[in-house]
Structure 1
Amino acid sequence: MSSQAITPLVEARGIVKRYGPTTALADGRLTVLPGESHALVGRNGAGKSTLVTVLTGLQAPDEGEVRFDGEPAPGLADRDAWRRKVACVYQKPTVVPELTVAENLFINRQPLKGRFISWRRLREEAAALLDTWDVHVDPEARTSDLKVEDRQMVEIARALSFGARFIVLDEPTAQLDNREIERLFARMRALQENGVTFLFISHHLQEVYEVCQTVTVLRDARWITTAPVADMPRAALVEAMAGETIAEQTVAVRDVDSTAPVVLEARGLTSDAYRDVDLTVRRGEVVGLAGISGSGKTELAESFTGLHTPTGGTARLDGERLPFGDVRRSLEAGVGCVPRDRHGQGLVFGMTIGDNATMTVLDRLGRFGFVGSDRKRGFATELIERLDIHTEGPDQPVSDLSGGNAQKVVMARALASDPRLLVLINPTAGVDVKSKESLLSRVDTAREDGTAVLVVSDELDDLRRCDRVLVLFHGRVVAEHPAGWRDHELIASIEGVDHG
């Protein structure tokens, strides 16, 4: 029987979703046949999460349509109809930890005896449901006491109890060890045999080959390809995700002075987000940190800026112990930072551009807390010119600026203190192409000035300026790529293809 003769369980065609000026999905497509495990892959920002919100009825598409079993999807307001069609099990559990398994399975629809909950019937129905789907969990256990894999199975059983036979698993293995992953896959296969269909989203491409029959690739908010997993070698899958053909240019290789003094040296750094990280950055060297969300790369970088305190290991800046957990002392020690959230962490929107740009260096501009306004304005004007910030002058409110110019103010402030270590976290996120180039040229200038630079980014263009890129996966450094890497090589490391 050809696949054309089978009515897809789920079909999305021509899905477009915009948020203001941003197009999160320009051409989302998905065709999932009954009883298969279908992988949805793509780099961060490819449009996967947006497509899932449309497939699960959390948002309506601006264009395009979703069909279940050949019928149009329910209206957004009809939540019960959506629950009968589809459910998503997210990386973070949606069960209520304080309640028992039985209470979570039938939350808001407990069996009643008169006006009161019938606890006996609740336990019986929960036990029957778990037995039907072969989920070995005690219905009376507190959900918070369950292992992650068992919590996931409770969520799947709850979805199946509504009648849904299409389950979206969003990064289900992120918090599981290898044995737990194997058990999850065995349960998925058993459920498939009983007519359950899965959409499997994972950054660990090895898992796609272990558990899925079909794969769909999104890139730059568009559908790229759908193919049987067996017909898609790993290199071809990574190439589809990267959008790079073998003929495309490689990154320029730079000579790094291997005798330059080490500015930042970390040994055995460990926290909840990363483990046993060794890292050095030399004077005039730019080191990138790459990895999927949840890899620990951002938390690691933020630790050097004083935002987090590791539970183990040490870090030294020019031989002196770096003060963890204290942003002001880190700044005084010589660390400049462009934080990940320019709105929440980077700018004070009630203040002027000049005030924001000079906030970290007021002690240098005046004595005993008094700063002459002419001196401050002059220093701010110099920074504005240096970073090509498009503004009427230092007295303009920073809230008037575009995203790109606002980010330049954050960069100006980071550079104002002449840091020995400059930490940049997603420095070009949400800025236009011209501003992006201007911000990245500051990285080159900082390198030439002898600053040690650490760049954390999901954008390959940001990482191209680096002399080497370290890749984190589940909190550990798993690969190091010297300048000259190819897109598909770096993405293979980031997505977990080449390290088991």
Structure 2
Amino acid sequence: MTASSPAEGPSPLLEARGLTKRFPGVLALRDVHLALGRGEVLGIVGENGAGKSTLMKILAGVEAPDAGDVLLDGRPVALGSVRGALACGIALIHQELNLAENLDIAANIFLGREPRRGGFIDEHRIEREARAVLARVGLDHAPRAIVGGLSLGQRHLVEIAKALSADARVLIMDEPTSCLSRHEADNLFRVVRELRDKGISVLYISHRLGEVKALCDRVLVLRDGENAGELPREQMTHDRIVKLMVGRDLSQFYPHVPHPPGEPALAAEGLRTPRHPEHALHFTVRAGEIVGVAGLLGAGRTSLLKTLFGVTPAVAGAVRVAGRELAPRTPRDAIAAGIGLVPEDRQEQGIILEMAIRHNMSLPNLRRSHRYGFLDWRGERRISAQMVRDLDVRTPSDEEPVQHLSGGNQQKVVIGKWLAMAPRVLLMDEPTRGIDVGAKHEIYQLMERFAASGMAILFVSSDMEEVMGMSDRALVMHEGRIAGELGRAELSEEAIMDLATGSDAAA
């Protein structure tokens, strides 16, 4: 299953040999090897904690290895710093972009490296060279356009242009499409392929295995800080990559098995959200049913969930939970009616990172978890211990601050606090965003278990495979309206995209 590396053919451009890195109490990397060919896109995948970030930081000069060597053009190099790596032609493009939004594109591209003439910054040269490098990445914007006015996809292109302006030969891209629309992601892939054809090498880190299969020439898999294996393009399948990542076969990756739904648990009748008040939404989710909500970025999916949960009260229309009318003006109203929301940004909206797991678990249930006006500590501990056990939260104790958990375990805490409330309806916005493939499978198993117990689940996802794999039905949104509904047997990427883009006759 392990592929041959470029080291067996032409000499690699960039190599890592025997890299080892220790942090207090953690062996992050152990004897890791990597070879990146000239003009190659090499995918780097692995579960959270597999060592991907540490490896990339070493190659980008952010961290120094405790053992091992980094070679460029066959010669060992001591990178020392980000500036040192950039001087060697290695540039890291972070998931959180490192741009000054108040400055223009040209100023960002040359920030800290401004060419000078006669002791003054040479503005004419900056603009001329910025225009040339923007053309290389296909960004048709004036160099003096302010970065704050660009989309996320366009800002990624500015980061790439910034790297190319410093003569980077190796681009390290960390989860570059995590917040991009499908169109922006497709444009980014086009640019990456063009750069590859011109001899630029790319290390591409992503949890989205479909992207890795579509874009990369090879994939390197890390597991527990060690090399788990490599696959060439012709051997890249979802199951093979997953098996290397988790060390076991996940042939049934999407465990959902449809079963007869019960009575309507959630119904929207003529619902109009503040984001798209011109469109009335009608739909029903039955007890025991999992309904996906698909659509492009900005289609109104998240605003729908926020309105159902009372974060942004409805402009008009009715919401019914188990047949009883609800007008959710605040999240408290929704919680009282038996609705829980797993938000898109768990760290900002779903948990309090500095607080212990057990305190997070009790947040929606404070009114139920008190006696005589005081918090029932014993009851809180009992509920927390049960949720940690039932959801298999990997932690030494429920006293552990949530910030010390992996992304997948943080998501389990978010889900657990609602499960402790025994909701009728669970709303989930991008339930597996930013978590590794093994944790995704566990979240899917939880969704299936909840549905089997009679809970109604309405979930938003930008991952079409996820929508197709876990939905009994899918609602597809386009510009604030429900463009159509697809039964499980009708679900396909083509059918979803037809509705999501408004090109279907039913739209």
TM class, shorter-length:
0.5 to 0.7
The aligned residue for residue 438 of structure 2 is none
Opposite residue 119 of structure 1, the aligned amino acid is E
Pick the aligned partner of 2:58 from 50, 54, 69. Answer: 54
Q: CA deviation at 1:212?
A: 3.5
Residue aligning to 2:464: none
Measure how far apart 1:159 and its partner are: 1.3
Are residues 66 and 343 of structure 1, via their aligned partners in 2, closer, same or farther at CA, if it must alter by over 3 Å?
A: same
3-state DSSP of counterpart to 1:104: helix
Q: Secondary structure at the match of 1:87?
A: strand
- Aligned-partner residue type, residue 232 of structure 1: Q
Counterpart CA distance in 2 for 1:28 and 1:269 is: 54
Name the amino acid aligned to 1:360. Answer: N
Look up the match of 1:486.
Answer: none
Aligned partner of residue 88 in structure 1, secondary structure: strand
RMSD: 6.2
Give SS of 1:31's match.
strand
| Equivalent of 1:421 in 422, 425, 430 | 425
Aligned partner of 1:106 among 99, 103, 110? 110
- Which residue matches 2:180? 175
1:362 aligns with 2:367: yes
Higher mean C-alpha displacement, 31-40 vs 349-358: 349-358
Tell me the CA shift for residue 143 of structure 1. Answer: 3.4
Show the counterpart of 1:234: 237
**Counterpart code for 1:234:** T
Aligned partners of 1:443 and 1:453 also within 8 Å: no
Superimposed CA distance per residue, residues 35-81 of structure 1 (whole angstroms, 9 cap, x where no aligned partner): 22223344666544443233222233455443322333434446244
CA distance in 1, matches of 2:138, 2:384: 64
What's 2:91 paired with?
87
Percent identity between matched residues is 30
Match of 1:158 among 153, 157, 162: 162
Are positions 1:283 and 2:290 aligned together?
A: no
Question: Which among 12, 17, 27 is matched to residue 16 of structure 2?
Answer: 12
| 2:322 aligned to which of 303, 311, 318 | 318
Does the CA-based 8 Å contact 1:66-1:72 persist in structure 2? yes
Secondary structure, counterpart of 1:34 in structure 2 = coil
Match of 2:217 among 213, 218, 227: 213
Rate the CA distance shift 1:471–1:118 in 2: closer, same or farther, 3 A.
same
User: 1:106 and 1:31 mapped to 2: Cα distance?
Assistant: 30
Q: How do 1:238-387 residues align onto structure 2 when only pairs under 5 Å count?
A: 238-240=241-243, 256-258=259-261, 260-265=262-267, 281-283=285-287, 305-307=309-311, 316-320=320-324, 326-336=330-340, 346=351, 357=362, 360=365, 362=367, 371=372, 376=376, 383=383
CA offset at residue 99 of structure 1? 2.3
Compute the displacement of 1:33 (Å): 0.8
Q: CA 1:252/1:122 → structure 2, altered by over 3 Å: closer, same or farther?
A: closer
Counterpart among 36, 39, 50 of residue 35 in structure 1: 39
> Partner residue of 2:439?
none
CA distance in 2, matches of 1:312, 1:473: 19
Q: Is the 8 A contact 1:348 1:356 kept in 2?
A: no
Structure 1 residue 419: Cα displacement: 3.5
Q: What is residue 196 of structure 1 aligned with on the other side?
A: 200
Instruction: Give the counterpart letter for 1:162 in structure 2.
Output: A
Kept in 2: contact 1:41–1:217 (CA 8 A): yes
**Paired residues of 1:357 and 1:410 also in contact (CA < 8 A):** no
Letter in 1 for 2:111: I
C-alpha distance in 2, partners of 1:123/1:283? 60
Query: SS at the partner of 1:362?
Result: coil
Task: Give, in whole Å, the separation in 2 of the partners of 1:232 and 1:355.
Answer: 43
Letter in 1 for 2:39: G
Give the unaligned 5+ runs of structure 2.
Answer: 1-5, 390-396, 436-441, 462-466, 501-507
TM-score by length of 1: 0.63
AA at the equivalent of 1:262: P
Q: Which moved more, 1:72-81 or 1:242-251?
A: 242-251
SS of aligned partner of 1:167: strand
Cα distance between partner residues in 1 of 2:202 and 2:427: 40
Correspondence list, 1:118-129, <5 A:
118-127=122-131
Larger displacement relative to structure 2 (145-154 or 29-38): 145-154
Task: Answer yes or no: is the 8 Å Cα contact 1:338–1:346 preserved in 2.
Answer: no
Seen in structure 2, the aligned counterparts of structure 1 residues 281 and 55 have a Cα distance that, compared at 3 Å, is farther
Indicate the structure (1 or 2) with the bigger Cα radius of gyration. Answer: 1
> 79, 97, 121: which is aligned to 1:117?
121
Deviations 1:167-223 (CA, angstroms, capped at 9, x unpaired): 123444562554x66654554444334432122345555554554333323456543
Structure 1 residues without counterparts, runs of 5 or longer: 390-396, 431-436, 458-462, 483-491
Q: Which residue of 2 aligns with 1:393?
A: none
Tell me, yes or no, if the aligned pair for 1:295 and 1:472 is still in contact at 8 Å. Answer: no
The more displaced of 145-154 and 335-344 is: 335-344
Q: Per-residue deviation at 1:166? A: 0.5
Q: Using a 3 Å threshold, how does the CA distance of structure 1 residues 318 and 80 change in structure 2: closer, same or farther?
A: same
1:165 CA displacement? 0.7
Q: For each residue in 1:416-437, what CA deviation from the matched residue of structure 2 results, as whole angstroms up to 9, or x when unmatched?
A: 655433568979x99xxxxxx9
Q: TM-score, normalised by structure 2?
A: 0.63
In structure 1, distance between residues paired with 2:77 and 2:203: 17
Contact map agreement 1:84 1:162 (CA 8 A) in 2: no
**Partner-residue secondary structure (3-state), 1:168:** strand
SS at match of 1:141: coil
Residue of structure 1 aligned with 2:76, choices 66, 72, 78: 72
**Structure 1 CA distance, aligned partners of 2:27 and 2:485?**
33
Structure 2 residue 143 is matched with structure 1 residue 139 = yes
Cα distance between partner residues in 1 of 2:58 and 2:316:
42
Q: In 1, distance between residues paired with 2:353 and 2:147?
A: 42
Secondary structure (helix, strand or coil) at the match of 2:57 reads helix
How far apart are residue 109 of structure 1 and its match? Answer: 2.5
Q: Note if contact 1:471-1:480 (Cα within 8 Å) is conserved in structure 2.
A: no
Which whole-Å CA distance do the structure 2 matches of 1:22 and 1:473 have between them? 45
Which letter does structure 2 place at the counterpart of 1:362?
R
Amino acid at match of 1:59: E
SS of the aligned residue for 2:62 comes to coil
Q: Note closer, same or farther for the CA distance 1:418–1:98 as it changes in structure 2 (3 Å cut).
A: closer
State how far apart, in whole Å, the 1-side matches of 2:232 and 2:352 are: 48
What is the Cα deviation at residue 164 of structure 1?
1.9
Q: 1:35 and 1:338, CA in 2 relative to 1: closer, same or farther beyond 3 A?
A: closer
Alpha-carbon separation, structure 2, partners of 1:216 and 1:254: 33
Distance across 2 between alignment mates of 1:240 and 1:132: 38
8 A contact 1:357–1:409 mirrored in 2: no
